[in-house]
Structure 1
């Protein structure tokens, strides 16, 4: 996947007249901080739109919201008095029908998948086990706050940059996970109605505690922690921007057979015009290339631009921001069914999501299924494989 960097949309031209140009942006990115930050949801949007049309869309949005801003943000269109404008933007009568995709990530869930992959890798179907673990613990009012502490400790460990910090964080992770395991065991009677998934969660948690590096501070422990804190840590990223970019590439340039909401099947070149992202280093882009495969990556070109100078990227930013805020509200029990119905038409069915109540509103109309029905993370096969490659 070739990379070009431009200060504005006047940079290198697309590689050919048949090139499909997709504008991209994200919302909710806090790097590798997946819990305890400002957002619990990440969104990556891709919009198939030309520069002139994007400028006209922004003109209408500014007029409808009476906003003088150079860049109109999602918080403006989400104001109650601007609901009509947002409905036009996302709805069937608007400019984006069939031309926008949004990949959603429940960030604490992504951290859970990462955690299980690290220290309970021997668990059968580790991704499913991670999702069941997260679903059981977040659905219980007593277990959820204890689990939140464990995830915070884990996130701190996986973000550590030196062995001293990592050793201290490791003991915090061990204590927190042990407390969660004890709480889950005590809650077995209360959760008896979900005996199957509770057993999976308990088994996975026990495997996690047993799989943690030893607490003796010996060479084996330092070696294990060194893989997290040293240069090799780049092989195991936490930043959801990578799986988000993978999903967007697959949505617009991936193999055929993804369904009406994820058609793929484009054999020609695709250019992604993306808001500048310093976190997308050459090493990370190499992982994205590996995740999507040589056939796809050889046809995709990524170009970074200044969003203030590119109307297409500003439209993608509006879509990502609105979808992220609405999805996060739904995840926390504050859904707006009317707007979520509009967002759902654009949601990538391979999104990293396991909460059943919110997914029932967020899923594309042809993909209304919950995690329990699929027995797996709410991700499609292609993106699930790509997510696995990126997060391992």
Structure 2
């Protein structure tokens, strides 16, 4: 794979690290059930600065918008469909040099909830599949919202009481089902939930359990370093990425055996590579969200497939099968 090497020439000496430029799309903080988007996307590209600048320049030449800063929405407009297809195509400028990690937000909530309360995230897929058909749309929505409130740092009222009231009502109304079996287990976890909430009394945690950005960055580093080459991340600057949280990301990667050599923040408009990552993240989020909601565009979904991380956090089986494929490169 060609890319931008740090401390080495292109395709150069062993020990050099591959620099990956990153950005995200769809961040609503910890509000994963009532925000503006239902999918979070985190993209990374290995383009050299020169290649990224040429790509951005070509997009500008083809779209010819007077906008000072281009975003994914420019490419997603129907009148620019040809530009979008050119960008994602197998012979396009980013193929084999870009990847995107997707998170279906409601599944992330279920995964985190069962991981925290049951130490059994494997049950998340079972509950996520069985919950909607067992409890109905309104009951399932009530569970998701109660779980989101329980885990998020900022909340209204008593989130522990609200969560367990919801669990009790659903399991009693729908007994002897796979979903109710899991809720029976959750019903006995109140002390753990109380302990979790009490941990906020001293102040908000460094790493919010429901914020998708931080684990997505760790996953991006793992994805790009899996061939044994260490990576260095360049990321769009944002408030969540404080020095302490960057240190946490680097520590998590180190403990997991991920070859992350470091991470630095830049202003997206000053780095064409980050701009291209921003394009891909926004495009992927929209295509994935459309597929999730049954209004997918088969041609665009097929073009996106080679870029999607097969380890994406995704619960919906139908759309997941259409979106996921082994990553090229």
Asked if residue 100 in structure 1 is aligned to residue 98 in structure 2, the reply is yes
**Partners of 1:274 and 1:304 within 8 A in 2:** yes
> Cα–Cα, structure 1 residues 153 and 239, in superposed 2: closer, same or farther, change >3 Å?
same
Asked if residue 180 in structure 1 is aligned to residue 141 in structure 2, the reply is no
1:191-218: per-residue Cα shift (whole Å, max 9, x none)? xxxxxxx52x3221111122123xxxxx
Give, in whole Å, the separation in 2 of the partners of 1:249 and 1:203: 37
3-state SS of the aligned residue for 1:293?
Answer: helix
Q: TM-score, normalised by structure 1?
A: 0.74
Give, in whole Å, the separation in 2 of the partners of 1:305 and 1:228: 31
Any unmatched runs of 5+ in structure 1?
Answer: 1-12, 189-197, 214-219, 255-263, 368-392
Any unmatched runs of 5+ in structure 2?
Answer: 10-15
**Partners of 1:253 and 1:300 within 8 A in 2:** no
> Cα–Cα, structure 1 residues 221 and 24, in superposed 2: closer, same or farther, change >3 Å?
closer
- Which has the larger displacement, 66-75 or 46-55? 66-75
1:307-351: per-residue Cα shift (whole Å, max 9, x none)? 011111000000000001110111111111100101111000000
**Partners of 1:146 and 1:179 within 8 A in 2:** no
3-state SS of the aligned residue for 2:239?
Answer: coil
Q: CA deviation at 1:15?
A: 4.5
Q: CA deviation at 1:54?
A: 1.1
Q: TM-score, normalised by structure 2?
A: 0.88
For residue 204 of structure 1, the aligned residue among 169, 179, 182 is 182
Asked if residue 171 in structure 1 is aligned to residue 158 in structure 2, the reply is no
Q: CA deviation at 1:224?
A: 4.5
RMSD: 2.6
3-state SS of the aligned residue for 2:23?
Answer: strand
Give, in whole Å, the separation in 1 of the partners of 2:312 and 2:196: 31
**Partners of 2:75 and 2:83 within 8 A in 1:** yes
**Partners of 1:161 and 1:229 within 8 A in 2:** no
2:214 maps to: 242
2:320 maps to: 359
1:26 maps to: 24
Give, in whole Å, the separation in 1 of the partners of 2:22 and 2:245: 17
For residue 131 of structure 1, the aligned residue among 115, 125, 128 is 125
Give, in whole Å, the separation in 2 of the partners of 1:103 and 1:282: 23
**Partners of 1:331 and 1:358 within 8 A in 2:** yes
Asked if residue 151 in structure 1 is aligned to residue 115 in structure 2, the reply is no
1:273-311: per-residue Cα shift (whole Å, max 9, x none)? 110022123443344234323585664221100001111
Give, in whole Å, the separation in 1 of the partners of 2:33 and 2:47: 33
- How do residues 20-169 of structure 1 correspond to structure 2 at under 5 angstroms? 20-121=18-119, 126-138=120-132, 140=133, 143-161=136-154, 168-169=158-159
For residue 347 of structure 1, the aligned residue among 288, 308, 323 is 308
Give, in whole Å, the separation in 2 of the partners of 1:228 and 1:182: 31
Q: CA deviation at 1:365?
A: 5.4
- How do residues 297-376 of structure 1 correspond to structure 2 at under 5 angstroms? 299-364=260-325
> Cα–Cα, structure 1 residues 237 and 284, in superposed 2: closer, same or farther, change >3 Å?
farther
Q: CA deviation at 1:129?
A: 0.6
